[in-house]
Amino acid sequence: MTLNELERTQQIEEYFSTLSNWGRWGTDDRFGTLNLITPEVRLEAMKAVRTGTAISLARNLDSAHPDPLHSGVTNVQRQSKIGEVQHVLGRTARWDAVGEEIVISPHGGNAHLDGLGHYYWDGLFYNGFSASESNDVVGSAHLSVADASRGIITRGVLLDIAGLFGVPHVERGYAVTPDDLIAAEKRQGVEVRSGDALLIHTGNAAAITSEGPLYVDGKRGPLDGVQAGLSESCLPFLHERDIAVMGADGTHDVQPSAVDDFDFVRPIHAVSLVAMGLWLMDNLDLTELAGACAEQQQWDFLLTALPWRFVGATSSPLNPVAVL
């Protein structure tokens, strides 16, 4: 281990304490940073709508192409049932229906929301809930994605890192720094503030879609993909700005990790979800939104994202919509 890596891992370890929101909203809190989306914040977010243009930030869920970003952990299956009424009731009529059974692994290459029960550190989830109380049967015992049943309705801000560098997508494996985030704010004339949904556009998803995945040494495991993401040095920025939720056109964490110690290869996920209680929207499609924001020179908007109310689940497929 190099000295630089030792310093980085020590810094990440410290973030679990220095950036912690445990107890901030009470010892039994399950909402984390969603507490920052107050009625006042929602009303203020409405002012970001200028033209009424609505843009989806997700891709189609397609059983023929279940893993569009080649995450290696995605599953989408659908089986349609033609003649559902006849099948269930044993009766025929001039009308009938089509039903289906659907199997989805939300975590992976499709747009999804990571709930606070997704990651734990040293056996503890956000706010000190014990991971030992979650299991395969009940799922997440305390921190279900259903806790976000009020939805995510707030002001969204897109920071266009690809646009900052004047490229369709930043270099694969590039680690976005807090200086990059601040430079994007200044370039765009927008400021991230408390209760916002911060979206990071690197062009990562567009690069994978158009050019295919890139792997380390030919490996094809879930952590072997090469993609742009945030450096762990961005974590204090996220905490200081008091954002409510963050989304990216990738998995947030830069891959491959800058450190070899496997304990610390996903610092954005681990510190955000466990210490800060910050909800994450992975693998969004931000290409159309980035283009519209650049054309209108409007980088804030109303963001709506409504996860399913699935008790015990740690994630939900998501179709976030930005309204400019």
In a domain, 75, yes or no: no
Q: What is the pLDDT of residue 117?
A: 95
Q: What is the pLDDT of residue 222?
A: 66
Q: Is the pLDDT confidence value at 3 over 60?
A: no
CA angle 108, 320, 176 (to 5 degrees): 65
In a domain, 91, yes or no: no
In a domain, 97, yes or no: no
Q: Is the pLDDT confidence value at 314 over 90?
A: yes
In a domain, 69, yes or no: no
Give me the phi and psi of 273, to 5 degrees please: -70, -45
Calpha distance 145→142 (Å, rounded): 10
Give the up-direction half-sphere exposure of residue 272: CA atoms within 13 A in the CB hemisphere. 30
In a domain, 99, yes or no: no
* Structure tokens, 74: 């995605």
Instruction: Provide the residue type at 58 as one letter.
Output: A
Q: What is the pLDDT of residue 225?
A: 83
Calpha distance 210→43 (Å, rounded): 38
Query: Which of 40, 56, 192 is closest to 111 using CA atoms?
Result: 56
Taking all residues of the chain, what is their mean pLDDT, rounded to a whole number? 93
Task: Return the exposure string of 2-16: e unless at least 16 CB atoms fall within 10 Å of the residue's CB, then b.
Answer: eeeeeebbebbeebb
Domain of 144 in residue numbering reads as 3-62+106-323
Q: What is the pLDDT of residue 81?
A: 85
Total of domains in the chain:
1
Cβ proximity of 280 and 272 under 8 Å: yes
Q: What is the 3-state secondary structure (H, E, C) of the chain?
A: CCHHHHHHHHHHHHHHHHCCCCECCECCCCCHHHHHCCHHHHHHHHCCCCCCCEEECCCCCCCCCCCCCCCCCCEEEEEEEECHHHHHHCCCCCCCCEEEEEEEECCCCCCEEECCCCCCECCECHHHCEHHHCECCCECCCCCHHHHCCCEEEEEEEEEHHHHHCCCCCCCCCEECHHHHHHHHHHHCCCCCCCCEEEEECCHHHHHHHHCCCEHHHCCCCCCECECEECHHHHHHHHHHCCCEEEECCCCECECCCCCCHHHCCHHHHHHHHHHCCEEEECCCCHHHHHHHHHHCCCEEEEEECCCCCCCCCEEECCCEEEC
Give the rounded percent of residues in the chain with a pLDDT score beyond 90. Answer: 72
In a domain, 132, yes or no: yes
Q: Is the pLDDT confidence value at 5 over 60?
A: yes
Calpha distance 289→81 (Å, rounded): 36
Averaged pLDDT, 24-39: 98
* Structure tokens, 142: 């305390």
In a domain, 309, yes or no: yes
Calpha distance 101→49 (Å, rounded): 37
Averaged pLDDT, 44-65: 93
Q: What is the pLDDT of residue 113?
A: 97
Averaged pLDDT, 248-276: 95
In a domain, 298, yes or no: yes
Neighbours of 226 (CB within 10 A): 18
Query: Which of 112, 109, 232, 231 is closest to 173 using CA atoms?
Result: 231
Q: Is the pLDDT confidence value at 308 over 80?
A: yes
Cβ proximity of 216 and 157 under 8 Å: no
120-154: pLDDT as tens digits = 999 999 999 999 988 777 888 889 999 999 999 99
**Domain of 58: which CATH number?**
3.50.30.50
Averaged pLDDT, 213-236: 84
59-108: pLDDT as tens digits = 988 888 777 777 777 788 888 888 888 888 898 888 889 988 888 888 88
